[in-house]
Chains A and B, each alone.
Chain A
């Protein structure tokens, strides 16, 4: 193939990366605008960039390998891309002073770029670089409170991330060395038959698991989620995690392992470990944010097996759970932020809020949804997940799936006991020094709207599936 052909091919494929390009340019534009303006103008530009990227993402009709196999586009990448962009736009709802807003939105946009590329990545180079891009932005966002503790969390996160990234890079090196290809799509069932590439694959998993926060690479989560600004945490707990899951799903979709391969056992075992670690860890936390972050770890564990099962149900289940998880986490951190601004940080502090009944009730409903009880969308997500696990059990004939199901069910009950500590503090305490906290109307309306959405998605889950179809077919 001569150079001209190659260049023409690249030009033809560029459509597939327009959204990311727009985000990169938008990030730089935010930085430049930040020199002159701050506050509203930045937010407006951020929103415009997101909408434009959304448009570009929707109108892109390319599927499959593009740009000499660097990226792989599919239904998932296009629909999850939209989910990520919408999630990012919700960050504008958080209260944020002008001081650091330019840089904040710059790093959010770069994290978004990294996440979009991560789930589209087909080349080992892109996998590594996009994970690094996401990580770099996360390290810096963690320190955005510019307090000693935030700095501490940020440095810990950096060190943890650096080690994981080094391990992954070593693994990528081993894989490339023994398969002499960068491209995930060229892997087949023979690729990992030898021991050396298998070890490389494990090391690659370490890097991906770091992003999804699967044990034992979950240790950074509590400190980071606790100290980072609430909006950054909300974003970090949703977008990179889901992107890494989509990437993992795509890797396993290549049928590189048979379903009784020990890699499956390993991944399932670590997933169970994650659920256990997240659930047990949450029990004795006194800080609300820290408790929720352990809950988020457990949710990673719930989502993990969906990447192993290749079926329509599994894909739908992943999509549905992701959408619901994104909504739940976004609104949880939003409410945590609102309370923290009123000095309510520890779970016990919520006893003071028993006068704000409305917001307390909404908060309780959201937490009930995080537990996974009806009549909220969290229940449907869990139900869907359990159905998929059962299907996986009968499909793959992997008895570990059954164990996974059992652990997941038990953990769901267990999670009731810690998530409901907040409602308990709000409603069942006999605190005397009640002070009503200062909440404006828009907060209440927003939280209520989110809650209604969760209820709606419970009663009409097919909306989410139809949305996926719709988003995927807009370009036609």
Chain B
């Protein structure tokens, strides 16, 4: 990456100085968070993440590369590598994290646990940077788990409220299941060579590669794991912006991007299809939500679907580009939603996340409105905004891929285009219902002074949603940043890109127009919206019952363990009853021996003979004779197997 920026940093090739730089980059957010919690002062957190961001800028500007390894177990040398891809993504993470920190200053001002909150944010940022720095898959897995843990902690931040611990647990557990697949996949790869990503070679077998892909699906909320992301929305809204929109959920895409060259062919097809259908699923569900954060969550699922689809069709570069643009506009949308929620909390007691309680907020929150609008247009994929460029890249690549694979494969770019239409539809609906028409609340709208620490992050993120940040040409489908993560510029045939560009622009605009005709101020829908019930769109409203599915799986599992428990009991106790032992005679003998034990001055021999003779004076646990009978039966079973087979 020579040629980017000026090189005023004299230590570019000095290992030890770079080491210090990397270490401070990694640990400053954590240290800031911890000190902030210890000294009850949020400025430590802000300072830590700010310095970390500065360090990452330093790395980018001077294109510092860094590579080292820690000797762990024999044969496991854990590589740590800072290449240009990691560097630019770290820069992104620290920037968004810095903005979210700033935003949270105002958002969490009144909260008792805000120091705990900032410490957790610091821990998260640390883990996320670690994940990006890790070159070894095991090390990556460690940070992967840490990121998952902090996500769990932050979702459950308001753990005293009803239902929040349960939601946090559900999203944690769903993630764990996917993580096990990832671990299993890594272990399988382990036996075919090095686990350092930069030293990977060859093509993996189907099983390990699909397991790794499942792990990535879990983190990136792809089907069938999507349900956890909507459950994660109970956390503080800035957290949703940082973790569940911009950074952590993108970790799955990042992992897929890194390992895609080694994936088995069929796995890639599965990845492409999963991403495609997740995109459609998210778009459909987002259309029917009432909760503004749920709309954004489903939209995130949908956009992550695009990225995963991009990986599957071999357009890793486009996916990372989309990850980048998405991080800006989605974080902006979430923070905007956070500002709205923050405002509504102050004026009303009604549910501050429900769009049925919003409307006409344009006047109350002018800055939020304008930035939200910019980010929303970027999400829609309208030309001159960043989302357009990156989404085009993916759909074009999907088209080209389909040309090679065969006719059925056109489903991938086609569904991509349909989803683009859906995206415009739900974005239009959201913006219209939230900001336009009249307020649906009983309380009166008052103008609200948008605090500087709310405003600055919103403005920065909105600026980052314009095309010129990424390339001067608004119709380019790659960015001047692309060089950081891909060495070969993608070249696609102009005709396809032209068709796709026109098609998707038309679709997006028609989506917006349709949204306007349906949801415009004064329309039937808008008029009845505040009293709207879920009604006939139950299926999509409930995210196709994905969460209910998890819960019933959980219940099924618990039933299963109940069943094994019952079998345990039944085989042992039931068997005796079944054969009719345990009759009056035995109970008399028991009574006799009980009398011996209670009445007589019982010595050791008495005890032993009493116990050997009969049952133990225990209560519920099974008796020793039966235990022994089972032991012996087991031994005999084994022996007869040997003797006769």
B180 surroundings in chain A (CB, below 8 A): 409-410, 412-413
Closest to B621 in A: A223
9 A-B residue pairs with CB within 8 Å: A155-B608, A199-B643, A283-B565, A374-B141, A374-B146, A390-B191, A428-B156, A428-B169, A460-B72
Closest to B634 in A: A216
Alpha-carbon distance A375/B624, docked complex (angstroms): 41
Q: A199 contacts B618, CB within 8 Å?
A: no
User: A372-396: contact bitstring with B at CB < 8 Å (1 yes, 0 no)?
Assistant: 0111000010011011001100100
**Does B184 belong to the interface (CB within 8 Å)?**
yes
Per DSSP, are chain A's interface residues mostly helix, strand or loop, or mixed? helix
Alpha-carbon distance A390/B643, docked complex (angstroms): 31
Q: A159 contacts B639, CB within 8 Å?
A: no
**Does A4 belong to the interface (CB within 8 Å)?**
no
Using a CB–CB cutoff of 8 Å, the interface residues on chain A facing chain B are 148-149, 151-152, 155-156, 159-160, 163-164, 167, 195, 198-199, 202-203, 206, 215-217, 219-220, 223, 262, 266, 280-281, 283-284, 316, 373-375, 380, 383-384, 386-387, 390-391, 394, 409-410, 412-413, 416, 424, 427-428, 430, 459-462, 465
Alpha-carbon distance A216/B571, docked complex (angstroms): 14
Using a CB–CB cutoff of 8 Å, the interface residues on chain B facing chain A are 71-74, 138, 141-142, 145-146, 156, 159-160, 165, 169, 176-177, 180, 183-184, 187-188, 190-191, 558, 561-562, 564-565, 568, 607-608, 611-612, 616-618, 621, 624, 627-628, 630-635, 638-639, 642-643
Q: Given known contacts A202-B638, A219-B631, A390-B190, is B184 in contact with A283 (CB within 8 Å)?
A: no
Alpha-carbon distance A262/B177, docked complex (angstroms): 34
Partner of B630, one of A216, A281, A374: A216
Find the residue from B160, B608, B621 having the highest chain A CB count within 10 A.
B621
Alpha-carbon distance A162/B266, docked complex (angstroms): 57
B191 surroundings in chain A (CB, below 8 A): 387, 390-391, 394
Closest to B70 in A: A459
B643 surroundings in chain A (CB, below 8 A): 195, 199
A151 surroundings in chain B (CB, below 8 A): 607
Alpha-carbon distance A138/B538, docked complex (angstroms): 62
Alpha-carbon distance A167/B632, docked complex (angstroms): 9
Q: B635 contacts A390, CB within 8 Å?
A: no
Q: A462 contacts B627, CB within 8 Å?
A: no
Partner of A220, one of B188, B565, B617, B627: B627
Partner of B618, one of A149, A216, A220, A375: A149
Q: Given known contacts A202-B639, A374-B141, A387-B190, is B624 in contact with A280 (CB within 8 Å)?
A: no
Number of A-B contacts (CB under 8 A): 114
Partner of A206, one of B71, B617, B624, B635: B635
Q: A284 contacts B562, CB within 8 Å?
A: yes
Nearest 10 pairs of A and B residues by beta carbon: A216-B634, A283-B561, A374-B142, A156-B624, A428-B165, A219-B627, A155-B611, A413-B180, A284-B565, A280-B564
Min CB gap A163→B, angstroms:
5
A156 surroundings in chain B (CB, below 8 A): 616, 624, 627
Alpha-carbon distance A29/B319, docked complex (angstroms): 74
Closest to B597 in A: A148
Partner of A383, one of B74, B138, B631: B138
A262 surroundings in chain B (CB, below 8 A): 642
Min CB gap A173→B, angstroms:
15
Q: A159 contacts B561, CB within 8 Å?
A: no
Closest to A262 in B: B642
A219 surroundings in chain B (CB, below 8 A): 627, 630-631
Alpha-carbon distance A220/B608, docked complex (angstroms): 17
Alpha-carbon distance A373/B176, docked complex (angstroms): 10
Partner of B187, one of A163, A281, A316, A387: A387
B561 surroundings in chain A (CB, below 8 A): 280, 283-284
B612 surroundings in chain A (CB, below 8 A): 159
Additional 12 contacts, C-beta under 8 A, given A163-B628, A424-B169, A427-B159: A156-B624, A163-B631, A199-B642, A215-B634, A219-B631, A266-B638, A280-B565, A283-B565, A316-B74, A375-B145, A409-B184, A413-B177
Q: B146 contacts A375, CB within 8 Å?
A: yes
Partner of B624, one of A159, A427, A459, A465: A159
A316 surroundings in chain B (CB, below 8 A): 74
B565 surroundings in chain A (CB, below 8 A): 280, 283-284
Q: B71 contacts A462, CB within 8 Å?
A: yes
